[in-house]
Amino acid sequence: MNILGNTLSTIIVVAAVAGLSAGMAETARPVSTTSSSLSMKFTGIQQQSGTIKVALFNSEDGYNKNAAVAGAEVAADAPSVSVSVENLPAGTYAAKIYHDVDGNNAMNTNPFGMPIEPFAFSNNAQPNMGPAKWADAAFEVTTEGAVQNISIQ
């Protein structure tokens, strides 16, 4: 499969995983009794419509298999928006994000299979021969929490 096909496959799965978080509005459901939080700010939003959808992973294996442990979404109604994921245990995480511009709960593509809706990864990690690598996207959530500033492209 070519670079675009690998990236597209991952993004489509991310879209499906993030779509499962529908109804979780601005916070994910708790995954433990620990009260760490992750604050995510998204900038560079070109179209103020639809929803920013986040799938959060706590292991490289889960990241590679698109087995999200939490999700969140926030209306993309400004050039920059924020969302918090609460009740996360301290540990290492990575996020896959897409902007569902038209609200259809799917990553739209052109006839060649290239994404036409913006997407991003935590740490602003860049895709390389497929989705961004876990090592590039991974970050720590401590007992004090964490902050991610992500540019949507």
Q: Which residues contact 28 (CB under 8 A, 6 or more apart)?
A: 21, 56, 70, 71, 72, 85, 86, 87
Q: What is the CA radius of gyration of the chain?
A: 14
pLDDT in tens, 34-82: 579 999 999 999 999 999 999 999 999 999 999 999 999 999 999 999 9
Residues 19-44 have pLDDT tens digits of 433 333 333 444 445 579 999 999 99
Q: Which CATH number fits domain 3-151: 2.40.10.350, 1.10.10.10, 2.40.30.30, 2.60.40.10?
A: 2.60.40.10
pLDDT in tens, 120-145: 999 999 988 778 999 999 999 999 99
Rounded to two decimals, the pTM is 0.76
Q: Tell me the residue ranges of DSSP E strands in the chain.
A: 36-43, 51-57, 70-75, 81-88, 91-100, 119-121, 139-141, 146-151
Tokens representing 130?
């497929």
Q: Is the pLDDT of residue 11 over 60?
A: no
CB hemisphere CA count around 147 (13 angstroms): 3
